[in-house]
Amino acid sequence: MNKILVTGGAGYIGSHTVVELQQNGFEVIIVDNLSNSLIEVLDNIHSITGIKPHFEQFDLADPRLTADFFTRHTDLSGIIHFAAYKAVGESMEKPLGYYRNNLMSLINLLEGMKLHGINNIVFSSSCTVYGQPDELPVTENAPFKPAFSAYGNTKQMCEDILKFTVNAHPVKAIALRYFNPIGAHPSALIGELPLGIPNNLVPYITQTGIGKREYLRVFGNDYPTPDGTAIRDYIHVVDLAQAHVVALRRLIEGRSKTNPEVFNLGTGNGFSVMQIIEAFERVSGLKLNYRIVDRRAGDIEQVWADTGYANNELGWKAERTLDEMMASAWRWEMALEGR
Ligand code: NAD
Ligand code: WQD
């Protein structure tokens, strides 16, 4: 059986990917320091798949601990690297913490791979590397724009680290640039766990719907878009998770066309903030309390993916609709309330 290390596997996207990997016959080892996740996630993965993943709790930014891990696990077929800090605003207040965590954890993993002949890595990148693209939909060939945040810059730098490392060592990499992942597993056993006040739109909406927040602030309605609110490409987290299984198989089977290979993971459709609110109201039957406020600093106007390369080359396509995304997010919020 193929043994896969999933870093950050207790987190939002990682936990959904662990489920898909297990359901596709992979044996999963999770490393997570639980800096942004809870240990209960492991039991919930077990409830979905019937398999409890092997778990180790340590900080991948620590070179000694990471090196030690590799001496104990020399038979890995590949790594999916989710572990990172991801809060854009926080990265502006603590840039060094973000550079240390996000760059060091990747470097430590690549050192271990080099030393132990582990050749395949899937890396979590982000559409944030594009900034506000000149052309929409944005293709993988669009240039990086100067980063708006230290977080975004860590993703650009990590992609550069991969680019130079695969030239020098027998490592093969796929960088997946996620657009806006939302929603939760249909079981409502795993989902996004924003600790504290959410920064992202959908958890803020569901928390407002359930009564944890008084109202949603809609950041700007004077953008040059049809309804004036900003546009993003929202993708169901289960579609996203499934793309990781496909990408990993491509690496293991040696089918990559370039190294590193880069794919956009989105639906190819843009939705405005108002369309997201309307979808929430449709699936929940509630009226959402919201107020229009000023634009949020650092936000881009609009972005959505050209998914042609991912669809044709990976043979993968996001299938779930916006209403399915919002319905699953809402079921998850209600399940959290009931716990
Ligand atoms: P998350 O915070 O839910 O999961 C990340 C996990 O990594 C957490 O469980 C955290 O405890 C762990 N972690 C962080 N630093 C670690 C370290 N040094 N050692 C060990 N474990 C560590 O985030 P997510 O939304 O699941 O994101 C996963 C990846 O996808 C991240 O790399 C993120 O930057 C990227 N990404 C996320 C989004 C998004 O909107 N959620 C969009 C684009 C890219
Ligand atoms: C979506 C839209 C907001 C909250 C961020 C990161 C990006 C990627 C995904 C990791 C925007 C509006 C939001 C609110 C609002 N993460 N909004 N009221 O900013 O597109 O992307 O997460 O790589 O790098 O920047 O996502 O969910 O924060 O915002 O009106 O309370 O919702 O202005 O237009 P964003 P988001």
What residues does 176 pair with on adjacent strands?
124, 263
Between the alpha carbon of residue 230 and those of residues 171, 224, 248, 320, the distances in Å are 39, 8, 33, 22
What average pLDDT score do residues 163-187 get?
Answer: 98
Contact 49, 97 (CB under 8 A): no
What average pLDDT score do residues 310-336 get?
Answer: 98
pLDDT digits (tens, 9 = 90+) for 189-242: 999 998 899 999 999 999 999 999 999 999 999 999 999 999 999 999 999 999
What average pLDDT score do residues 53-73 get?
Answer: 98
Confidence at residue 338, expressed as pLDDT on a 0 to 100 scale: 81
**Which token pair is 90?**
């926080």
pLDDT digits (tens, 9 = 90+) for 19-47: 999 999 999 999 999 999 999 999 999 99
Q: Is the pLDDT of residue 184 over 90?
A: yes
Q: Is the pLDDT of residue 251 over 80?
A: yes
Ligand 1 proximity of 13 Cβ (cutoff 6 Å): yes
Mutation test of ligand 1: which of 124, 234, 239 has the most ligand atoms closer than 8 Å to its C-beta?
Answer: 124
Mutation test of ligand 2: which of 13, 197, 219 has the most ligand atoms closer than 8 Å to its C-beta?
Answer: 219
- Domain chopping of the chain, boundaries: 3-182+234-265
pLDDT digits (tens, 9 = 90+) for 255-311: 999 999 999 999 999 999 999 999 999 999 999 999 999 999 999 999 999 999 999
Confidence at residue 218, expressed as pLDDT on a 0 to 100 scale: 98
Q: Is the pLDDT of residue 317 over 80?
A: yes
Architecture of domain 3-182+234-265: 3-Layer(aba) Sandwich (3.40)
- Kindly report the backbone phi and psi dihedral angles of residue 5, in degrees, each rounded to the nearest multiple of 5, phi listed first: -85, 125
Between the alpha carbon of residue 128 and those of residues 88, 152, 155, 221, the distances in Å are 10, 6, 8, 21
pLDDT digits (tens, 9 = 90+) for 94-129: 999 999 999 999 999 999 999 999 999 999 999 999
State which ligand 1 atom lies nearest to the alpha carbon of 128: 43
